[in-house]
Amino acid sequence: MATLKPIDLSGLNDERLASSVRAQIAEACEKNGFFQIINHGVPVELMDKLKEVGRKFFDLPKDEKLVYAGKPVLAAEGYGSRMVLTDSEPQFWREFLELHTLPLSERHYNYWPQKPAEFNETVEKYTAALMDLAHRLLSVISENLGLKPTYIKEAMGETQQSIVFQCYPPCPEPGKTLGLPAHSDIGGITILMQEGDGLQVAAANDTWELVPNHPNAFVVNLADQIEIITNGRYKSANHRAIVNSDSTRRSYVTFYYPAKDQKIIPAPELVDAKIGPLYRELYYLEYLQALAAGRAKDKRLVQSFAINNPLIT
């Protein structure tokens, strides 16, 4: 579990410690693109407040939540629930609320709950703080790769952010379902706060490693577009959420991703002149469409954008 020992970000502001913190981030990114951070600068009261408004929303009667039900469109948002038990391919056991938070023109307040009353203000403050944190992490990640600090931010174009409130109720037969089946996140970088254990990351030999819940920590994971931009130096991490029979687990997941019309290309600095880029260029919209079309069922979606090259697994 050594790799999931939280990285103390406060060291970035101390010149004696900064290079060691950067090296820890680089190592986690090289290894599996998954790490936890503490002393990240986001106030604990704000984290607690977000959990509180999330819990209060999920505690509302079903018909009040259904007012915010999402429609099945490409970039869906709103409330949904899916609770499936099966003996075959594991499915979902979760309730969720997804909201676009950036750019401001994509905030569709008709999906933002009116109860509890502090919901909007809390989500606005929390997601602004998480956007700053994402930018700080991306600048360290860019520099670790020998790129200028703003490289990845610029490569992803106009900032897009959404938040998903995940709620995994107790399940009578946890072996017959999953909160969220295995996947990698499709955007750039994901920052997750969890209440209760259940998040697992793919480990060696097809096993799953639990990402332990540390108080006041965030879990960070790299997603598919960072894999493409880094030309495969950093891979997106496969992960899933399991459920349990005795308690509700919740998580609050902030996704940072490119605009649909943003062209994503491997950074030329990271492309070997003899081999060439390992992924083809794409517009992020194509990626969303490939996902919606259920492409690459038995392999990672990002592999279907790899240029036929045995180095990409």
Distance CA 30, CA 144 (A): 11
**Residue 32 touching ligand OGA (CB under 6 A):** no
- Give the range of 30-38, 65-73, 106-114, 192-200 binding ligand OGA by CB under 6 A: 192-200
**Residue 224 touching Ni ion (CB under 5 A):** no
Smallest distance, Å, CB 81 to Ni ion? 18
Q: Which residue is nearest to Ni ion (CB)?
A: 185
Q: Which of 77, 98, 185, 227 binds Ni ion (CB under 5 A)?
A: 185
Q: Which of 180, 186, 267, 301 binds ligand OGA (CB under 6 A)?
A: 180
**Residue 130 touching ligand OGA (CB under 6 A):** no
Q: Which of 46, 60, 85, 164 binds ligand OGA (CB under 6 A)?
A: 164
**Residue 178 touching ligand OGA (CB under 6 A):** no
Helix (H, G, I), strand (E, B) or coil at 31: helix
Query: From Ni ion, ligand OGA, none, which one binds at residue 232 (CB under 5 to 8 Å depending on kind)?
Result: none
**Residue 199 touching ligand OGA (CB under 6 A):** yes
Helix (H, G, I), strand (E, B) or coil at 210: strand
CB neighbour list of residue 309: distance below 8 Å, 6 or more residues apart: 275, 278
Per-residue interface string for the shown chain with ligand OGA, residues 211-250, x marking contact by CB under 6 A: ----------------------------x-x---------
Helix or strand holding residue 189 (H, E): strand 189-195
Distance CA 36, CA 289 (A): 31
Q: Which of 193, 253, 301, 302 binds ligand OGA (CB under 6 A)?
A: 253
Query: From ligand OGA, Ni ion, none, which one binds at residue 166 (CB under 5 to 8 Å depending on kind)?
Result: ligand OGA
**Residue 227 touching Ni ion (CB under 5 A):** no
Distance CA 58, CA 66 (A): 11
**Residue 50 touching ligand OGA (CB under 6 A):** no
Per-residue interface string for the shown chain with ligand OGA, residues 271-290, x marking contact by CB under 6 A: --------------------
Classify strands 199-203 and 160-168 as parallel, antiparallel or unpaired. unpaired
Note whether 191 and 134 are within 8 A (CB).
yes
Closer of 186 and 229 to Ni ion (Cβ): 186
Note whether 191 and 47 are within 8 A (CB).
no
Distance CA 10, CA 42 (A): 11
Please report where in the chains the tokens 């509302």 appear, as a residue. 60
Report the 3 state secondary structure along 295-311.
CCCCCCHHHHHECCCCC
Cis peptide before 277 (omega within 30 of 0): no
Q: Which of 36, 160, 251, 254 binds ligand OGA (CB under 6 A)?
A: 251
Q: Which of 32, 35, 47, 41 shows the shortest CA–CA distance to 4?
A: 35
In the numeric block, which tokens belong to residue 183? 């996947």
* Rounded CA Rg of the chain: 19
**Residue 184 touching ligand OGA (CB under 6 A):** no
Where does this chain bind Ni ion (CB under 5 A)? 185
Q: Which residues bind ligand OGA (CB under 6 A)?
A: 164, 166, 180, 185, 194, 198-199, 239, 241, 251, 253
